[in-house]
Structure 1
């Protein structure tokens, strides 16, 4: 598990290899990730959007931007957390993801970014 705290918002990430999709002529490698967003600050906050940079071992980079996470824009009061699961497909059995969430504080109405720590994606059969 990888974790990081930005402005009192803790991001925890667990990953899992889900399998290989075999399609002629290419194979794709499926990964899931489970993210917990925990509000350790004294302010209520809302996640408004996300930014992802997904890289594979073949130097392919995909940028993903969007509103909320999994169709939701969770509001977190102090001490609350939100957990969700998503996934990605890579062209190689190794890769990584990193990014940030755009958040807004209800106390100050200030917008801020919460870093999502870089996490590795690797198929167990390909581990060296």
Structure 2
């Protein structure tokens, strides 16, 4: 698990290879990632949008942007957290992701860019 804190918001990431949804013979490798966002600040924040940079070990780079996460724009109270699971497919058995969340502090509507730490997507058989 990797984690990073930006402006009092901690983002932790845990990944899992999904062999049941992968097809290596067709260059399709599926990974799930679980994100935990913890509000360590004294102010409520709302997650407005996300930006991902996805790198495949074959040199392919993709960027993904969108509102919220898995269809939600959660408000996270001080001391609270939000968790969700999503997925990413790669053409190879390893790659990386990192990115950011655009949030707003509800008390004064200030925009915050919260960093998502870089994490590896590696099929377990690659580690042997």
1:82 equivalenced with 2:82 (yes/no) = yes
C-alpha displacement at 1:3, in angstroms?
0.4
RMSD: 1.0
Structure 1 Cα separation of the partners of residues 41 and 68 of structure 2: 20
Task: Show the counterpart of 2:119.
Answer: 119
Tell me, in whole angstroms, the C-alpha distance in 2 between the residues paired with 1:27 and 1:104: 39
What is the TM-score of this pair, normalised by structure 1? 0.95
Distance 1:53 1:101 in 2: 12
Unaligned runs of 5+ in 2: none
- Note the C-alpha offset of 1:22: 4.9
Whole-angstrom CA distance in 2 between matches of 1:33 and 1:57 = 18
| 2:69 aligned residue | 69
Q: CA–CA distance in 1 between the matches of 2:42 and 2:91?
A: 42
Greater helix fraction, Structure 1 or Structure 2:
2
Say which SS state the counterpart of residue 125 (structure 2) adopts: helix
Give the count of matched residue pairs. Answer: 126
Query: Which runs of 4 or more aligned residues in structure 1 lie more than 4 Å from their structure 2 counterparts after TM superposition?
Result: none
